[in-house]
């Protein structure tokens, strides 16, 4: 079945759309070494948004992969990871900012670089948030898909430059109507001294509804409770 929607997002680009419940987003790293920073909000009530602490502590995880779920701050499920060939997606490192990009890569503005100017994740998020009536105060911790960051016993974080290869993909099945905001700027811990953000393909397909024995639902008690909360939310809204 062909995708309902498909787009290639250039390196350093940004994108936002409302993705309906029952749809799957597939993100594909086209060249290897991509990073996709993502924010998630309830499409109908944007005070409900991605909750990083609950997502991690409830599932006792540090990174995302299948069959984990992405939780909201109202005890519901935004989306479930149903397929993942990359295997590790960072949840704790945030996004780049103007000062970090300038320090690492130098300065290239629109005035002297035109469309090749250096972008950063923070400003890209602010631009996309504004399109939906949101602003700086609505910024939340983001997820970094395709980026692998490990921690040693002392808590020192290390970025793995070789973690993701060309063609790697991850599927996110949406359990709620969700405002998805993302950008493809480099990861803040990427040691590459060259400004070189990579493109990704994003496609949307119709998802198969999760059943009672869905791997994401039964992966832990917290996920099952959150699925019930999500189903109750839509049952009462109907």
DSSP string, 146-166: T-EEEE-TT--EEEETTS--T
Number of domains in the chain: 1
pLDDT attached to residue 238: 63
Side by side, which strands form the sheet with 169-174?
Answer: 5-9, 200-206, 23-29, 169-174, 77-84, 69-71
Q: For the chain (length 238 residues), average pLDDT per consecutive 10?
A: 93 98 98 98 97 96 98 98 98 96 88 83 98 97 98 93 94 98 98 96 97 96 97 85
38 forms beta bridges with 143, 182
What tokens does 161 get? Answer: 């430059």
d(CA 214, CA 199) in angstroms, rounded, equals 32
pLDDT attached to residue 138: 98
Sign of CA dihedral 24, 137, 146, 76: negative
Q: H-helix or E-strand containing 188?
A: none
Among the listed residues 145, 146, 183, 185, the one whose alpha carbon sits nearest the alpha carbon of residue 164: 146
Q: How far is CA 24 from CA 78, 117, 211, in A?
A: 11, 32, 16
d(CA 51, CA 202) in angstroms, rounded, equals 23
Query: Hey, what's the torsion of the CAs at 142, 144, 150, 155, to 10 degrees?
Result: -20
Tell me the pTM: 0.96
Q: In the block, which residue shows the tokens 């905001």?
A: 181
pLDDT attached to residue 108: 85
Strands annotated E in the chain: 5-9, 14-19, 23-29, 36-42, 63-64, 69-71, 77-84, 89-90, 143-145, 148-151, 157-160, 169-174, 178-183, 200-206
Are the beta carbons of 164 and 184 closer than 8 angstroms?
no
Are the beta carbons of 78 and 71 closer than 8 angstroms?
yes
Domain of residue 210 covers 5-237
Among the listed residues 28, 20, 121, 126, the one whose alpha carbon sits nearest the alpha carbon of residue 79: 20
């Amino acid at each position: 079945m062909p995708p309902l929607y498909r787009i290639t997002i250039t390196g350093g680009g940004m994108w936002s759309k409302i993705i309906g419940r029952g749809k799957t987003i597939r993100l594909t790293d086209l060249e290897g070494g991509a990073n996709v920073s993502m924010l998630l909000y309830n499409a109908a009530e944007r005070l409900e948004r991605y909750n990083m602490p609950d997502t991690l502590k409830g599932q006792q995880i540090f990174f995302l992969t299948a069959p984990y779920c992405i939780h909201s701050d109202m005890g519901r499920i935004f989306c479930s990871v149903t397929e993942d060939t990359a295997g590790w997606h960072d949840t704790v490192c945030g996004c780049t900012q103007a000062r970090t990009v300038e320090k690492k890569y130098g300065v290239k503005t629109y005035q002297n670089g035109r469309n090749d100017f250096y972008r950063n994740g923070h400003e890209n998020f602010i631009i996309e948030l504004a399109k939906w009536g949101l602003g700086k105060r609505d910024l939340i911790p983001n997820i970094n898909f395709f980026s692998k960051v490990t921690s040693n016993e002392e808590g020192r974080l290390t970025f793995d430059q070789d973690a993701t290869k060309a063609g790697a993909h991850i599927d996110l099945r949406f359990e709620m109507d969700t405002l998805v905001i993302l950008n493809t700027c480099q990861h803040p811990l990427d040691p590459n001294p060259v400004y070189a953000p990579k493109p990704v393909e994003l496609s949307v397909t119709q998802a198969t509804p999760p059943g009672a024995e869905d791997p994401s639902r039964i992966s832990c008690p917290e996920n099952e409770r959150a699925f019930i909360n999500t189903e109750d939310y839509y049952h009462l809204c109907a």
